[in-house]
Homo-oligomer: A and B are copies of this chain.
Amino acid sequence: MKNFSLTGTYTDLYQLSMAQVYFLKGKSNDHAVFDYFFRKIPFDGGYTVFAGLNDLLETLQELEFTSDDLEYLKGIGFNEQFVSHLKTFRFRGTVYAMSEGEIVFPNEPILQVHGSILEAQIVETLLLNILNFQSLIATKAARMRAVAGDRILSDFGLRRAHGLGAYHATRAAIVGGFNSTSNVKAAHDFGIPAVGTMAHSFVQSYDDELAAFRDFSEVRPDHCVLLVDTYDTLKSGIPHAITVAKELEQRGHKLSGVRLDSGDLAYLSKQTREMLDNAGLHYVKITASNQLDEYVIKSLLDQQAPIDVFGVGTSLVTAPPDAALDGVYKLAFAYGKPRLKLSENLKKITLPDKKQVYRIINGAGNFLGADVITLQHESHQTIMHHPFEFDKSLNLKELEQRALFNKVMENGRALHEPNTLQGIAEYCQAQFKLLPDEFKRFQNPHIYKVGISEKLRDERNQLRNHYKK
């Protein structure tokens, strides 16, 4: 597998089966609206970071069925007229969405697709594939950033990522607050700093560690991070690194850092810092890696481990224990009418119609802790209390209410130059600062309230009563 093209068949078969029915029944041009939202915050956390929008819009702009796709579809029984129709298929819909990097919460629409029911249906799977994954990883990254302060966070995950998913995992990590990556291709394509140290195998391939360090430092004397735990970190690795650092100094260079990749990172980093400082090497940075996640990083820093750079692999790019964001794409409007999916309990009922989401900002300019979903063109006057209660003493009408949805695509064309990855990451961090601390706790975080307006509630209830009959 050397080349992978994201074409029209990057979808579930049933999307094409349904599209075929719409086409053959003459319904394919009818207007439909789908909501993208999720139901549960991953990691039992208090927030989710929305990521993947740029990639989605780019994919939608370029999406088409290749002749190879079309031959295949014919071969597995699709109708010839329908397949001919797919030959000219382009996504011509309109997309409203929150900004990439926005802090988002369960049950609120994050993105709406308005288009023909045929095109809106066909793109469901790739939309979910892109947004669910990147939002998951950006959220994991943001949790690490939240505890890492201004220390460097580097993605080391390519070897443990889910195959080609590694590529966008790196992008999403940057959205969530990571600084750099070991993944050269992703670094290149997304304009991210590429970083790396050395592997144990390099040290092992020499008969002694000092010789390995010397050779390595000679080639790029100003970009050298030495891995010090191949044999014995404190007895061998650090003393050898100090020797090499001194030799570099004599030649006018500075050792960039050392990397600890095993053992107790709190203990070893303190000992390492002391040994480096005693040798006058205050500028040599300490990188730590080995099974890090947000909890380990927090614990290390709680214990004042003097670590400057965290290299995070598996946990960042695979996002255990959840490993998936449960984002869904639900029909809200079709054939001129708002639509609803019922369910046995209120929890899984969907919200009909075209909508807007408002974020309430408190007097200090921070998030109050409540978003309100309204109909698209409603000026929302009152706040409904579903499914949570607000503090009645607050006069919500007097607080700033920021509309979160923007029209980002029209007739299949993106309306704006895409924000840069760096710009998205900065936006995310700026928004994250506005989120009160109680939503950032790892244990039992405060629950952000998402309410719906009275008009939207009434419309939903009417529809529900209609279907219940």
Could you tell me which A residues sit within 8 Å of B by CB distance? 1-7, 9-18, 20-21, 24-25, 27, 32, 34, 55, 58-59, 62-63, 68-69, 72-73, 76-77, 79, 117, 121, 124-125, 128-130, 132-134, 156, 158-169, 182-185, 187-188, 194-202, 204-205, 215-216, 219-220, 223, 230-232, 262-263, 314, 317-326, 329-331, 334-335, 339-344, 348, 467
How distant is A65 from chain B, measured CB to nearest CB, in Å? 10
Supply 14 further A-B pairs (C-beta < 8 A) apart from A13-B196, A124-B199. A2-B6, A3-B5, A13-B187, A14-B198, A17-B216, A18-B216, A21-B216, A129-B160, A129-B161, A134-B163, A161-B165, A164-B168, A204-B331, A204-B341
List B contacts of A5 (CB < 8 A): 2-4
Query: Which residues of B sit under 8 angstroms from A230, Cβ to Cβ?
Result: 341-342
Shortest distance from the beta carbon of A206 to any chain B beta carbon, whole Å: 8
- Kindly identify which residue among B16, B185, B323, B343 contacts A320, using a CB–CB cutoff of 8 Å: B323
**A324 → B minimal CB distance (Å):** 5
Q: Is the CB of A182 within 8 A of B12?
A: yes
Report the minimal beta-carbon distance from A319 to chain B, rounded to whole angstroms: 7
Contact status of A58 and B182, CB under 8 A, knowing A24-B219, A196-B13, A262-B343: no
CB pair A4 B3 closer than 8 Å:
yes
Could you say which residues of chain B place their CB within 8 Å of the CB of A322? 320
Residues of B within 8 A of A317 (CB): 162
List of B residues within 8 angstroms of A314 by Cβ: 323-324, 326
Beyond A1-B55, A6-B2, A184-B16, is A162–B159 a contact (Cβ under 8 Å)? no
Residues of B within 8 A of A25 (CB): 215, 219
Q: Which residues of B contact A231 (CB under 8 A)?
A: 342, 467
A323 touches B331 (CB 8 A): no
With A2-B6, A215-B25, A331-B204 as known contacts, state yes or no: A159 contacts B128, CB within 8 Å.
yes
Pair B160/A163 contact, Cβ less than 8 Å: no
CB contact between A165 and one of B2, B163, B219, B232 (< 8 Å): that residue = B163
In the complex, residue of chain B having the shortest beta-carbon distance to the beta carbon of A201 = B331
Closest B residue to A337 by beta carbon equals: B207
Cβ contact within 8 Å between B24 and A184? no
CB neighbours (8 Å) of A167 from chain B are 1, 4, 163-164
Whether the Cβ atoms of A201 and B133 lie closer than 8 Å is: no
Contact of A184 with B262 in the complex, beta carbons under 8 Å: no
Task: Tell me which residues across on chain B come within 8 A of A16, comparing CB atoms.
Answer: 184, 196
What residues of chain B lie closer than 8 Å to A132, measured between beta carbons? 159-160
CB distance from A417 to the nearest CB of B (A): 17
Q: How far is the CB of A419 from chain B (nearest CB, A)?
A: 16
**Chain A interface mostly:** mixed
Chain B residues, CB < 8 A from A63: 2
Smallest CB separation, A357 vs chain B (Å)? 21
Q: Is the CB of A200 within 8 A of B1?
A: no
Q: Which of B34, B195, B339 contacts A13 (CB 8 A)?
A: B195
The closest CB in chain B to the CB of A348 belongs to: B262
Whether B331 pairs with A205 at a CB distance below 8 angstroms is yes
| Cα separation A215 to B344 with both chains bound (whole Å) | 26
Assuming the A-B contacts A9-B188, A14-B182, A340-B204, are A164 and B334 also in contact, with contact meaning beta carbons closer than 8 angstroms in the complex?
no
Asked if A324 and B331 make an inter-chain contact with CB atoms under 8 angstroms apart, the answer reads no
Q: Could you jot down 22 A-B contacts, CB within 8 Å?
A: A1-B167, A4-B6, A7-B185, A11-B158, A12-B156, A13-B182, A13-B184, A15-B199, A17-B197, A20-B219, A21-B216, A133-B161, A160-B325, A162-B323, A201-B334, A205-B331, A205-B335, A205-B339, A231-B467, A263-B344, A314-B326, A320-B322
| Nearest CB of B to A7, in Å | 7
CA distance A128 to B183 in the complex (A): 13
Residue of B nearest to A182 (CB): B12
Q: In the complex, what distance in Å separates the CA atom of A16 from the CA atom of B165?
A: 22
Do B202 and A318 have beta carbons less than 8 Å apart? no
Q: Which residues of chain B are within 8 angstroms of A32 by Cβ–Cβ distance? A: 205
A251 to B27, CA, bound (A): 24
A354 to B335, CA, bound (A): 67
Q: Separation in Å of the A343 CB from the closest CB of chain B?
A: 7
Separation of A117 and B55 alpha carbons in the complex (Å): 37
Least Cβ–Cβ distance between A56 and chain B, in angstroms: 10
Most buried by B among A117, A133, A187: A133
